[in-house]
Structure formats: structure tokens, C-alpha cells
Amino acid sequence: MFLSHTPLNFHFNKNSDNFFVEEIPLYPFAHTGEWLMLKVRKKDTTTPEMIKTFAKYLNISPQTIGYAGLKDKDGLTVQWISIPRKYRNEINKFNDKKIKIVEQDLHRNKLKIGHLKANKFFVRLKKVTPTTAKILFSLIKDIKTYGMPNFFGDQRFGKYGNNFEEGKKIIEGEKFVKNKRLNKLLISAYQAKLFNEWLGERIKLSRIFELKENELKALGYEKELIKFVKNQKHPFKLLPGDVMSHYPLGKLFYLENIEDTERFLKKEISITGLLPGKKVLRAKDFARSIEEKYDELIPANGDRRIAWIFPEFIELNYNKDRAWFEMSFILPKGAYATVLIDLLKNPKKFLGE
């Protein structure tokens, strides 16, 4: 059964020796224009902290500086930022222990959130026995074939993992947060929590559908639905009315025929999950009967998130002498490398088991 193994025993310490991530830009830069593009390597500092450091050095507002995404504080990270070209002379004198400019370019437009294609990661797991390494190779082979669930990682829920609780209080009128940015962050954590719970239930449902047809009928599932699901080769079962998307980005459309489940197996399309709120497309038919349990009236715009992703593994290596298992891989933007590690270590973490 896919990603249902017993927990594995290995060690992961998220620091600059064992964790590296580099942004892959959404588009090539024009090599001309009024915006100076800086490829920045940082460690032990968050993206907002880095932005504030540059803003203070240049004596400009942090809002003047553009960036495509937030990168982890822990580990070694590389990302692009944009500043007005007129600060080139000052930036060439910039010096900081935690931040280093490794490349410069020019472009016509300021970088904005989301202007990245994917992220490339390097991860080193330690205290990996030969037996565990063999299991890891096998698990990754399955992920190469079928992909993996795109859960939100622990980072989304704050240092103490309770941001979603604060977001729920805001939504229910029990808490008021004046800071608009913090208010949005807390509400989005609650949306992410609902998404994760929905995705966990869908995985459990996929496993239920591995039962025999007569057993499924006894559970109350209709014959046509059973037939629709049983014809699918992918371990994650799609349902009539699911909201699909071309992978990794594309227009949304409803799943209505069995042929599209083959396209999911071929990694051409993927299922999306609901981030509840206003102005967002909902699932329909049987898929909606599952989704609506995690759909709440939230005073913010909703969205849909790719719920199943297909990592691209570049290199795998096991060093038996050091008991290190190393992985280089690419994930689409918004996906968490820590989720991949957690799924390998203990997939039950996301299923409430």
C-alpha cells in the first residue's frame, strides 16, 4: 500500500550542512531594465529579516525590495530579490556575515510574490542504516512513479504550531487582530489546516476503495462510483466532481470522465484542494460531499491548491560509512521539502493516526 509503511528511524537536522534550497526563477531575466536582480545566499535568517537588512543598508522602505517567495531561516538558501538599479554602486559594497550576493542581473520589472517556477533542494539524512536506506530507495521509487500529497508543512502553522487556532478565533469573532498582515497570516494558517485535514481524509478514502467491490457496496457506496474508482491505476483515487488543474499550473476544470484519471497517472494533470473562502471554485458531485466538511465561511478570499505533486529527483546517494542518505530534488513552488522528509519518516503524521 502506497506510503503506509511503519515509521523509519533516521535523523534530520535542518541546518546549513544538511539542508539547501535554491529558487528556480519563473522566467529568464532581460539583462536590461531599471531593476537590479540580486541572487542572494543566506543562512540562519528569514527572508523578511534579509529584506530588512538590505532596506536598512540602502535607507529605503522594505516594500521597495521585491522577492518571489519566502525561504526558510534554518539551512542554506538561495533566492532572487530585486532593487532599483540606481542602488548598484551601494549594493556592490554590501557586506554581511549571513547574507552574500552571488550573482547580479537586470530586468524590466520588479519581482513579485509567486514569480518562481520551482525550488531545488539538497537534503542530508543521518543515522541511516543499510536496511533503512534500502527502504528509502524503494519509497522514493514509488514517489517517482506516483507523486506525493502536497500537505502544508509545519512552518505554515507557526513556531508553536497553533497559528491556525488563532485564525479560527478571528473567523469566529473571538479575537481581533489590528495588524492586517498578521490577520491574513493567521487566517491562512486555518485555511491550510482545513486543507491538510481534507487531504488526509482523501488518502484514507483511497485506501478504503482498495476493498473488494462487495465490501464497498456493504459500506453504502454506489455501484457506478465503485466502478469509476476501481478503474483507476493510481493509488490516490480521484472522484467525480474533483476540481483538476493542468500540472503544475493551468486552468481549473471538473473531473467528469475516466480518461482524465489516466492523465493524472501520466502527471499531465493533478487534483486541487480547497482553501475555503470567498470567490473560489468548489468541487461538485461526490467529491463535494467530502470537501464540504472542510468548507467554512471565512472572511477572506479562498483559493485552490495543487493537492498532489510530482517531485523530480536529480540524485540519490547512500554513504554507508557515514550512515548518510542524500537527496537532490525539485519541487513546484509552494511545496515543502520537510513534508517529503516527514512522509518518508512517518506518513501517519498527516493522517491523524
pLDDT tens-digit profile of 219-235?
999 999 999 999 999 99
**Taking the alpha carbons of 327, 332, 338, 343 in that order, is the dihedral positive or negative?**
negative
DSSP 15-38: STTTEEEEEEESS---S-SSEEEE
pLDDT band at 202 (very low <50, low <70, confident <90, very high): very high
d(CA 218, CA 229): 16
Q: Is 96 a catalytic residue?
A: no
Q: Helix or strand or coil: residue 70?
A: coil
A 10 A CB-CB count for 94 gives 16
d(CA 10, CA 318): 13
d(CA 71, CA 56): 20
pLDDT of residue 154: 92
Write down the catalytic residue from 72, 242, 295, 342. 72
> What average pLDDT does range 112-128 have in this prediction?
95
pLDDT of residue 353: 67
pLDDT at 120 over 70: yes
What the block records as the C-alpha cell of 124 is 542530508
> What average pLDDT does range 80-102 have in this prediction?
96
- Within 13 Å, how many C-alpha atoms sit on residue 227's CB side? 4
pLDDT in tens, 275-319: 999 999 999 999 999 999 999 989 889 999 999 999 999 999 999
φ and ψ at residue 201, rounded to 5 degrees: -65, -40
Percent of the chain with pLDDT over 70: 99
Cβ 269 vs Cβ 290: under 8 Å: no
Cβ 82 vs Cβ 36: under 8 Å: yes
Average per-residue pLDDT for the chain = 94
pLDDT in tens, 8-47: 999 999 998 999 999 999 999 999 999 999 999 999 899 9
pLDDT band at 167 (very low <50, low <70, confident <90, very high): confident
What are the chain's domains? 27-114 (3.30.70.3160), 148-310 (3.30.2340.10)
d(CA 25, CA 159): 28
pLDDT at 352 over 80: no
Percent of the chain with pLDDT over 90: 83
